[in-house]
Copies of this chain bind each other. A is one copy, B any other.
Amino acid sequence: MPTLRIALAQVNPTVGDLAGNAATVREWSRAAADSGAQIAAFPEMMLTGYPVEDLVFRKSFVAASTAALRSLATDLAADGLGELPVVVGYLDADGGPRNALAVLHGGEVLTTYYKHHLPNYGVFDEDRYFEPGDTLTVIRLAGVDIALTICEDIWQAGGPFAVAGRARVGLVVNINGSPYELNKDDVRLSLVQRRAAEAGAAIAYVNMVGGQDELVFDGDSIVVTAGGTLLARAPQFAEHLMIHDLDLPAAEPDAPTGDLGEMSVRRVEVPAAPPAPSSLVEGGIADRVTDEAEVWHALVLGLRDYVEKNGFRSVVLGLSGGIDSSVVAAIAVDALGSDRVVGVSMPSQHSSGHSKDDAADLAKRTGLDYRIEPIQPMVDAFLANMSLSGLAVENLQARVRGVILMALSNQEGHLVLTTGNKSELAVGYSTLYGDSVGGFNPLKDVPKTLVWKLARWRDAEAERRGAEPPIPENSIAKPPSAELRPGQLDTDSLPDYDELDAILAGYVDGDLGRDQLVAEGHDPALVDRVLRMVDVAEYKRRQSAPGTKISIKAFGRDRRLPITNRWREHPS
Contacts and interface: CB of A to CB of B under 8 A. Distances in A.
A497 interface: no
A306 B564 contact: yes
A90 to B, nearest CB: 13
Interface in A519-572: 539, 542-543, 545-546, 559-569
Interface stretch (A392-400, A451-459, A481-489): A392-400
Given A59-B511, A566-B15, A567-B55, A560 B125 contact: yes
Interface in A1-54: 14-18, 20, 48-49, 51-54
Interface string A432-444: 1100010100000
Nearest to A64: B567
Given A120-B128, A385-B377, A433-B402, A564 B60 contact: no
A406 B388 contact: no
Interface in A373-415: 373-374, 377-378, 380-382, 384-389, 391-392, 395-396, 399-400, 402-404, 406-408, 410-411
A320 to B, nearest CB: 19
A370 interface: no
Contact of A410 (B395, B400, B511, B546): B395
Contact of A567 (B16, B121, B410, B545): B16
A121 B404 CA distance: 41
A14 B433 CA distance: 28
Contact of A60 (B54, B513, B561): B513
A333 to B, nearest CB: 21
Contacts of A211: 564
A511 B396 CA distance: 41
A70 to B, nearest CB: 18
B433 A411 contact: no
Nearest to A379: B381
A309 interface: yes
Nearest to A378: B381
A407 B395 contact: yes
A212 interface: yes
B515 A439 contact: no
A16 B410 contact: no
Given A125-B560, A378-B378, A382-B403, A15 B411 contact: no
A68 to B, nearest CB: 11
A560 B373 contact: no
The listed residue with most B CB atoms (<10 A of its CB), out of A61, A382, A408, is: A382
Nearest to A53: B560
A125 B127 CA distance: 9
Contact of A399 (B406, B511, B516, B569): B406
B567 A61 contact: yes
A399 B404 CA distance: 10
A570 to B, nearest CB: 11
Interface of A: 14-18, 20, 48-49, 51-55, 57-61, 64, 120-121, 125, 127-128, 211-213, 305-306, 309-310, 373-374, 377-378, 380-382, 384-389, 391-392, 395-396, 399-400, 402-404, 406-408, 410-411, 432-433, 437, 439, 511, 513-516, 539, 542-543, 545-546, 559-569
State the 10 A-B residue pairs at the shortest beta-carbon distance, nearest first: A60-B513, A16-B567, A17-B566, A381-B381, A392-B410, A16-B565, A16-B566, A392-B411, A53-B560, A127-B127
19 contacts: A15-B564, A16-B567, A16-B568, A51-B562, A52-B562, A55-B567, A60-B515, A60-B569, A61-B513, A64-B567, A125-B128, A212-B562, A306-B564, A374-B385, A378-B381, A381-B381, A391-B410, A406-B432, A433-B433
